[in-house]
Amino acid sequence: MNNREVMLKALTGIKLVEPGDDLGAITVEAFATNGVQPRTGDVLVVAQKVVSKAEGRYVEVAWVEPSERAITLAAKLGKDPRFVEIVLGESKRVVRHRPGLLIVEHRLGFVMANAGIDHSNVSTADGAERVLLLPCDPDASARALRDHIARNCGVLIGVIISDSFGRPWRKGTVGIALGAAGLPAVIDMRGRPDLFGRELRVTETGFADEIAAAAGLLMGQAAEALPMVLVRGLVWSAPEAPAAALVRPAEHDLFR
Amino acid sequence: MNNREVMLKALTGIKLVEPGDDLGAITVEAFATNGVQPRTGDVLVVAQKVVSKAEGRYVEVAWVEPSERAITLAAKLGKDPRFVEIVLGESKRVVRHRPGLLIVEHRLGFVMANAGIDHSNVSTADGAERVLLLPCDPDASARALRDHIARNCGVLIGVIISDSFGRPWRKGTVGIALGAAGLPAVIDMRGRPDLFGRELRVTETGFADEIAAAAGLLMGQAAEALPMVLVRGLVWSAPEAPAAALVRPAEHDLFR
């Protein structure tokens, strides 16, 4: 099944999210102030950063005691050993490193720089330095937001928690799906015939990643100012799958 | 600068493209039959396959004499040595291989399976097997189509030649830009302040790749039936850069 027209709309006027904020309530309010009536088939893409903030996923850097391993690695990287300690705490293992760059396998399987920990936009009133971890379970965050919208708006839409990832081989970051609910994050095309009745060569598409990349065009790098994008017009028939299904198992991977 | 609303529209009714077809004329006709009046700021995404077909980038498999190297590699892969020969002829080097899978660095720098050579959807009237190479110079193909549209529609739009790539670490293919004209394929954010006046951590975004991924949502895997998607509503201020700028130089890459 294919879609003919898709519309993406950034929801505006969303306040800066703080720990303890009710992201569900903020979302429902954003729908109202933007004149959006969510419909079946809609997908809401939410920037990871506001989800992490609402979930209070901060770590105070000053409280961190770096391990020997973090101190050694930090010296090679030219990074703060406490920051490296926090990254290692969120990671299964280090995939690559060089001065200034630390690529790890996050505990959820994402291969990414710094375990996705952001320390560029984080500040506190008293000036203490803190960093923001990824949501504990982004698929669960997506499900919870989907349920909240269903209860309050009476419609089950798709929800994606998105982030920007760098890629090997290609420059520039693109949006990807860290979490997803209510849609097939991966679509398995195996066995489907192509136009000529032959079996398709490509067997899986990263549906939620393509949606997150599309939303990235509207969020830009200002994902805190424009943290939510509504996508309308997508059609799918594949069964639901969470964003965890987008993670290639390490044993099938040639680049770890 | 950020966009608030973006619309994607798949152009329908486009005939199956054959070698020698005038892709520019097909595009202008598709605009007309779909009621599309192209505007400044529009971006047209065109599937690689129809560009390659119009450019006649076919190779007859029966005419290929495999080298010793191709024969040896083909035995390890379980692939046709003539197909492997064609892939190697389009490649700078082999990046990874295992039975059934051949990842190369294409002569244009793309790290991809089978040098992007498609042999699933290719057939000829007499049943002879032929495969389809990538366009010779996708950035030039994009520029030529852009110029044709400008001459015939009186407006300079952006053009992207897209393909679907697999990724390491993540399952499923996503749309990427092989060629681009009239837009910044990569946007360099270095030095730009974030919301809090601090310098942005992310320095480059893969703008054309995000657009190609968005268009992939509409093309699906039926890129021959729906090979063109018009994207409207994007705003950018960065200088133009071709898709070649998306290729990370091998010396800056940790995964080759």
Asked if A174's CB is within 8 angstroms of B213's CB, the reply is yes
Torsion of CA B208, B214, B220, B221, to 10 degrees: 20
| Dihedral of alpha carbons A195, A197, A202, A205, sign | positive
Residues 6+ apart with CB under 8 A from A195: B16, B121, B222, B224, B225
Q: Which amino acid is at B94?
A: V
pLDDT by residue (tens digit) across B51-91?
Answer: 999 999 999 999 999 999 999 999 999 999 999 999 999 99
Q: Are residues A2 and B220, on separate chains, in Cβ contact within 8 Å? A: yes
- The predicted-structure confidence for B116-158, as pLDDT tens digits, reads as follows 998 754 555 566 789 999 999 999 999 999 999 999 999 999 9
Query: Of the candidates B158, B161, B76, B73, which has an alpha carbon nearest to the alpha carbon of residue B116?
Result: B161
H or E, element range at B240: none
Q: Chain B: nearest CA to A206, how far in angstroms?
A: 4
Q: pTM of whole model > 0.90?
A: yes
pLDDT at B77: 93
Q: Looking at domain B7-56+135-247, which of 3.40.50.410, 3.30.1330.100, 3.30.70.2740, 3.40.50.150 is its CATH number?
A: 3.30.1330.100
Of residues B111, B110, B141, B146, the one with CA closest to residue B244 = B110
* Fold of the domain built from segment(s) A58-132: CofE-like fold (3.90.1660)
More confident residue, B253 or A170: A170
Choose the mutation target among A187, A205, A232, A234 for the interface with B, i.e. most B CBs under 10 Å. A205
Asked whether this complex has an ipTM greater than 0.90, the answer is yes
Distances (CA, A) of A252 to A167, A248, A255, B170: 18, 7, 9, 10
Are A225 and B2 a contacting pair at CB < 8 A? Answer: yes
How confident is the model over B38-58, as pLDDT tens digits? 999 999 999 999 999 999 999
- What pLDDT does B121 receive? 46
Checking if the pLDDT of B192 tops 80, the result is: no
What residue ranges do the domains of chain A occupy? Answer: 7-56+135-247, 58-132
For residue A140, give Cα distances in angstroms to A59, A145, A160. Answer: 21, 9, 11
How big is the A-B interface in CB pairs under 8 Å? 248
Q: What residues of chain B lie within 8 A of the CB of A175, using their CB?
A: 210, 213
When CB atoms are compared, the residue of A1, A195, A209 closest to B224 is: A195
Please judge whether B121 and A186 are an interchain contact, meaning their C-beta atoms are less than 8 angstroms apart: no
- Per-residue pLDDT, A256: 72
CA-based angle B182:B183:B184, to the nearest 5? 140
Task: List, in sequence order, every residue forming a beta bridge with B193; answer none if it has no partner.
Answer: B199
The pLDDT value recorded for residue A252 is: 77
Contacts of B216 in chain A (CB under 8 A): 205, 210
Asked if residue B92 lies in contact with residue B253, where contact means CB atoms within 8 angstroms, the answer is no
